[in-house]
Chain A
Amino acid sequence: MDVLRTEALTKIYGTGENKVTALEDAVLRVKQGEFAAIVGTSGSGKSTLLHLLGGLDRPTSGKVFVDGKDIFSLKDEALTIFRRRRIGFVFQSFNLVPTLNVYENIVFPIRLDGNAVDERFVGEVMQMLGLDKMKERLPNQLSGGQQQRVAIARALASKPAIVLADEPTGNLDSRTSQDVLSLLKVTGQKFSQTIVMITHNEAIAQMADRIIRIEDGRIVKGGEPDE
């Protein structure tokens, strides 16, 4: 079953002479438990694609289905709520709430929803990511790699349908990048979590189950799962 599916996704910025087609007729399917990497040069449209997949931006035309739900049929507020329940984000710049400690950051989306935290699950995630010793630290006390691990834990904590990672290792040195990515992959496998990751680093992309290539706003390879 496809956790993520798009229909002729197109995003055009500007009008007239300034018109830029960032994404054109992108068709993409991702299966449950898959770890996909979207690879492309800068300006190829990969970030636009990821933002559309996560419902952070609205397409000019086309649709995105997450868990079979047409996310752009939702109003902004409902979309935000859908996002915190079904989509986890990992950003290049970690993006933790500076006033909350590690644990609070991880359960932040769940708490926003007013739901009880599955302590056992969160504990397990934290242990896997090596965060169980630093539950009460504040983000500015952590290294970049640690911060990104917290961000990954946050993305996983609400058991989303899909985790979207936007250059998750972009701000890390290569050794830490390897560590973080291994952890992402391992935890993904363990919880059979679907992950879509953007990167421009071929070596990193090689760790994924599938590589989706994007050039000049078009998906040139790997849009469909390998059957």
Chain B
Amino acid sequence: MNKVNNRRVIRQLAFRELKNSRRMNVVVVLSIMLTCILFTALATVGGGLVNSVQQETMRQVGGSSMAGLKYVLPEDYEKVAADSAVRNVNYRIIVGQLVNGELRDFSAEVNCAGSPDAAKTMFSAPTTGRLPEAENEIAVSTIVLDAFALPHELGVVIPAVINVGDQDFSQDFILCGFWEGEKISPAQQCWVSRQFADKYAPTPSERYQQFETMDITGYWQVDFDYRNSWNIEGKTVALLQRLYGDSDEIPDVGVNWAFSTSTVDGESVASAAILLLLIFAAGYLIIFNIFHINISANIRSYGLLKTIGTTAKQIRRMVRTQALIYCAAGIPPGLICGILTGRLLTGPILETTNIHLSSSASVSGRLIVLIALFSAGFTLVTVLVSCRKPCRIAGSVSPIEALRYNETVIAPKAESKKTGRISERVLARNNMMRSKKKTVIVVLSLSLSLVLLNLLFTALRCFDMDSYISNLIVGDFVLTHEDNYNDANELFKVTEDDVAYLKSMDGTAEVDPVYFQWGTLSMDGEPKHRLEQFCEKYRGSAPDEVFEFAAKNEVDADIYGIPDPLLKKMEPEQGTIDLEKWKTGNYAIVWMHYVGAETEPGETDFYLPGDKLTVAALDGGTKEFEVLAVCAMPYPLSSQRYSYLGGHVIIPESEYFALTDNRNAMKVMVNAAENRYDDVERQLRVLTDNPGAHVILKSKQTYAEEYGAFLNMLRLVGGTLCGILALIGILNFVNAVVTSIISRKREFAMMHAVGMTGRQLRAMLSWEGVCYVLLTTVCALTVSALLSWFLLRRFAEEMFFFRYHFTLLPVLLGLPVLLIFSVVIPAAAYRIICRDSIVDRLRENG
């Protein structure tokens, strides 16, 4: 078969056709831009979020390397560095810990960095000064300096107490470099020189043996990256296999779980795929519509091309070429606008999701290139997929059909029709019936945005600030610890001195510390029986260890010691709180929970009022109490930690002190006297607003603000979504109206010729629009009401901060807007076809 080279002429034809319809070009390019903006903005927000979470996690982990070998020898470093699959290989030598009393709030590791890059991957590269070279030099973070109350200046002397191996010794170091420390890091790095490391922590010659070698001093930590973060664990296994084969000298490895976002599981793939599909559908709807209009408008010229011998394939290629030209014009500006929009949106979203790293909110250059490539590709695919059907229509048109192209064919089923009145309205209604499928699609797509808007609006209105906040804070202020899972002492941050200071403050109405200690309950008698029954029923809904532990009749319990005034915050589920009994110190308030499965109310009440209970504090004594009431510690004042099966045991402060020696409180609730809110806050800030502060202040005010920010984010995201859907709905409507008008061009000309005035025609078209709006209204109201009632109401019942209100207001408010569109767009479209004279239009088919 001969290969005909006609690409050039087809391309030329595509360009010529484009030149012909400038207005259409603008519309198509704009719609491609819009789609591209949609994709890019979403990708930027998504990428920014993932990136920020990853950055934040890396800082929590304390390193950005993908994986590392633990406690190895220099020879292992050489081996890894020589492997071709890894890059950025760095090492640090373990020296010891700083154990000064000033540093008790965090751990400060002393290491020797193999290179400046090693420090950089630990987020601990000196930004001022350099890494140490001389034996007496040290580089630390500002957090360490602050803890020593030293100025941020090079050359200051740091009086360190270092633990190396099993001995502590004092050593004065000179500061040679420092950087801004990350509070969320598990440990602060303190870099010493190689000289120091070699002298005090020489690298052992023996290999580190897990369980046998207790001392890790002098071993090397080797961190490295792979080319990409895909399947890090698999790559690491393969690496070990390559380097060590089957020898029994395989070192410990660690994989950075900041990258576990890229270790993909089925569920996240599915939800990501659904999301991508939805976004794709949104873009598809926009672009498909525009192309469809375009093809309908040009159908005659395709017919003409066919009569003179253009094949269907060539016409399809021509249309596709045009699509590519449109993409070339629309995608670049779309990318730029999209990235800008995405960055604008990322800020507020990050703020409300409590990712505090301002530095990571900015999306890196490499990520932007990736996002741009992804979005451009995605848009291109969308365009190509969207124009497939229009291409087919254009290609399959027969010359004669094209000349008398009339989109809507009356189903031949209908042989006759009862004679009725004739008016613009009736004509409009008849026209709506011509293509039921199209009518349904337009109505559904218009309804979709209204329904979603209504759902969103209802949901936002259902948020109840008071119940939301009451679950987050009790009283005006709560002085508490920072969330830091790396700190074993995080629940004991409010010192005795702090409590004394709080009690001495001026203008407070109430200062109630909550003391906390881990503990266990030993079950006996009736409670034991209830627990056994419970375990029998729910075995299998949690790991076996949970039930094995319970089988020993021991259950984890948070022990809370509280002052008497806090009793009034308790809302008992069973029993009553009797202050007299409570004051004897022989009574406890108990509450048990199980998080492995949904349980029936009361099923976890192993203890009932009157039962005896024996509590053992983790670090101290044991005591027997009688159960006074069943009641949980209010969430904001609880430890907010849950084991599978566990409970709260609330006892008087005095009894708590008898059980344990720990005098530090977990949280302190502070209520201000009337009109003294600001005074109290100022005094509280003394404790929290200093660099060495180990507690933070949560106030009703900040939660109210956070709540507002959260709502704003929902509004922003939801509003954008509704906006996009509304746009698609309206575009579908425009598509329906414009194509139907263009394809009925001749019919209208004939009606005009036999005496239907322009006004009457426009009225008829507007009535068609009104028909759409009426159908949409019925559809949107019904669906909204059903969804609101059956879905949102049930959802609201589940959520503690939801208070359900039924409303259809947004749908009703959307109507006037739709009505305006329905009247204006058809009239405008009619005006456009009127540019051709009636004689030309009548002549169109010969």
Using a CB–CB cutoff of 8 Å, the interface residues on chain A facing chain B are 51, 54, 56-57, 76-77, 80-81, 83-85, 88-89, 91-93, 95, 97-101, 103-104, 107-109, 111-113, 135-138, 140-141, 154
Contact = CB atoms under 8 A, between A and B. Distances in A.
A97 B757 contact: no
A89 B414 contact: no
Contacts of B423: 111
Contact of B758 (A77, A85, A93): A77
B416 interface: yes
A89 B754 contact: yes
A56 B752 CA distance: 9
A138 B417 CA distance: 7
Contacts of A97: 427, 747, 750-751
B837 interface: yes
Given A56-B839, A83-B753, A103-B419, A138 B414 contact: yes
Contacts of B757: 77, 80-81, 112
A136 B418 contact: yes
25 contacts: A56-B753, A56-B839, A77-B757, A77-B759, A80-B756, A81-B757, A83-B754, A84-B755, A89-B754, A95-B746, A95-B753, A98-B406, A98-B747, A99-B430, A99-B431, A99-B434, A100-B417, A100-B430, A101-B418, A104-B419, A108-B422, A138-B414, A138-B415, A138-B417, A141-B416
Contacts of A88: 754
A49 to B, nearest CB: 12
B420 A104 contact: yes
Contacts of A100: 417, 422, 427, 430
Contacts of A77: 757-759
Contacts of B759: 77
A113 B431 CA distance: 20
A101 B756 contact: no
Contacts of A84: 754-756
A196 to B, nearest CB: 15
A102 B638 CA distance: 82
Contacts of B758: 76-77, 80
Interface in B730-761: 746-747, 750-760
A140 B410 contact: yes
Interface string B398-416: 0000000010011010111
Nearest to A136: B416
A98 B753 contact: no
A93 B747 CA distance: 11
Given A56-B842, A140-B412, A101 B755 contact: no
A91 B750 contact: yes
Contact of B750 (A51, A95, A101, A141): A95
A109 B431 contact: no
A89 B845 CA distance: 17
A108 B754 contact: yes
A96 B329 CA distance: 43
B422 A111 contact: yes
B771 to A, nearest CB: 13
Given A93-B846, A109-B756, A112-B422, 6 more contacts: A54-B753, A83-B754, A98-B406, A99-B431, A112-B757, A136-B418
Contacts of B755: 80-81, 83-85, 109, 112-113
Q: Which of B412, B423, B753 has the most CB of A within 10 A?
A: B753
Contacts of A109: 754-756
B412 A141 contact: yes
A54 B414 CA distance: 34
Contacts of B158: none
The 3 closest A-B pairs by CB, nearest first: A84-B755, A99-B430, A95-B750
Interface of B: 406, 409-410, 412, 414-423, 427, 430-431, 433-434, 746-747, 750-760, 837-839, 842, 845-846
Contacts of B846: 92-93
A136 B434 contact: no
Given A93-B846, A97-B751, A136-B416, A112 B756 contact: yes
A134 to B, nearest CB: 8
Contacts of B433: 99
Nearest to A107: B422
A154 B754 contact: yes
A222 B422 CA distance: 41
Nearest to A151: B754
A101 B845 CA distance: 23
B253 to A, nearest CB: 75
Contacts of A91: 750, 753, 842
Nearest to B420: A104
Nearest to A86: B755
Contacts of A89: 753-754
Contacts of B420: 104
A108 B753 CA distance: 12
A113 B747 CA distance: 19
Contacts of A137: 415-416
Contact of A57 (B414, B418, B838): B838
Contact of A51 (B419, B421, B427, B839): B839
A135 B419 contact: yes
B430 A138 contact: no
Contacts of A113: 755
A141 B751 CA distance: 20
A83 B421 CA distance: 22
B753 A138 contact: no
Nearest to B751: A97
Contacts of B406: 98
A179 B752 CA distance: 28
A164 to B, nearest CB: 10
B419 A101 contact: yes
Contacts of B754: 83-84, 88-89, 95, 108-109, 154
A98 B410 contact: yes
A84 B412 CA distance: 30
A220 to B, nearest CB: 23
A107 B426 CA distance: 14
A92 B842 CA distance: 10
A82 to B, nearest CB: 8
Given A80-B752, A99-B410, A57 B416 contact: no
Nearest to B843: A47
Nearest to B755: A84
